Amino acid sequence: DQQVKQNSPSLSVQEGRISILNCDYTNSMFDYFLWYKKYPAEGPTFLISISSIKDKNEDGRFTVFLNKSAKHLSLHIVPSQPGDSAVYFCAASGVSTGTASKLTFGTGTRLQVTL
Amino acid sequence: DAGITQSPRHKVTETGTPVTLRCHQTENHRYMYWYRQDPGHGLRLIHYSYGVKDTDKGEVSDGYSVSRSKTEDFLLTLESATSSQTSVYFCAISELGQGLSGYTFGSGTRLTVV
């Protein structure tokens, strides 16, 4: 059962416009939410995160919004640049239970930023 | 990426043979993870380690075993490779084992089982 869902497999946005990537989750015990970016033939790289006590976190062109009641988060990229073209993964975890927190990933959204 | 390397980068093996993938880190991080990436499934956790000789199963652990005899090395073994284990395997490390700080991933190993 997919606990973290990214329902849009792909998204195409013009350079300079806003990209909005969406993610839904089902596990109410998740407390941390992260976005990763992945280029072909490379490992995922950490982009931005948010804890459940916040509803927004901003880092430069990237902003993550969390709506806990709807179990929904989104990543906004403004303005979008061609170098942002990649696969974006949403991930979530609960509070560490003593051994390690484990990230559960969504299926990914491929973003293409066109000129 | 700097601080974490996976070997080999590519491997083709035959069904039924054992295969070992290696993850090596120079960051002295306590936590290490093995994920596999498949189309339509994203990244799924196979096994993880929270210290030397301390490991536990993830959501897709069947057919896999791991070992961690040193802080820097985390080995993933496919005991008898099957075609369903054709995938891209990623190792990740984490200093705190806590969700907000994220993991650092290696560049991946593309494994093909024929």
Concatenating the DSSP letter of every residue in B1-34 gives: -TTEEEE-SEEEE-TT--EEEEEEESS--SEEEE
Calculate how close chain A gets to B1, using CA atoms only, in Å.
8
Question: pLDDT at position A96, please?
Answer: 62
Tokens linked to A110: 């491929």
Residue closest to B24 by CA, chosen among B9, B39, B6, B45: B6
| pLDDT bucket at A94, cuts 50 / 70 / 90 | confident
The pLDDT score that the predictor gives to residue B97 is 67
By the 8 A CB rule, do B26 and B93 touch?
A: no
Average of per-residue pLDDT across A89-108: 83
pLDDT tops 90 at residue B1: no
**B108, pLDDT greater than 90:** yes
Cβ distance of A107 and B42 shorter than 8 Å:
yes
State the average pLDDT over residues B5-14. 97
Q: What's the half-sphere exposure (Cβ side, CA atoms, 13 Å) at A33?
A: 33
- Give the minimum alpha-carbon distance from A57 to chain B in angstroms, rounded to a whole number: 12
Q: Do A99 and B54 touch (CB under 8 A)?
A: yes
Does position A69 have pLDDT exceeding 70, yes or no? yes
| CA closest to A57 among chain B residues | B100
- List all residues of chain B from 4 to 23 with a beta carbon under 8 Å from chain A: none
pLDDT at residue A70 in the model: 96
Q: How confident is the model at residue A98 (pLDDT cuts 50, 70, 90)?
A: low
Q: How far is A24 from chain B (nearest CA, A)?
A: 14
Query: Would the CB atoms of B102 and A51 count as touching at under 8 Å?
Result: no
- pLDDT tier for residue B100 given thresholds of 50, 70 and 90: confident
Task: Count residue pairs from A and B with Cβ separation < 8 A.
Answer: 77
B38 in contact with A, Cβ within 8 Å: no
Mean residue pLDDT across chain A: 93
B51: left (phi over 0), alpha (psi -120 to 50) or beta: left
A100 vs B94 pLDDT, higher one:
B94
At residue B96, does pLDDT exceed 90? Answer: no
Q: Are B94 and A108 within 8 A, CB to CB?
A: no
Residues of B in contact with A46 (CB under 8 A): 102-104
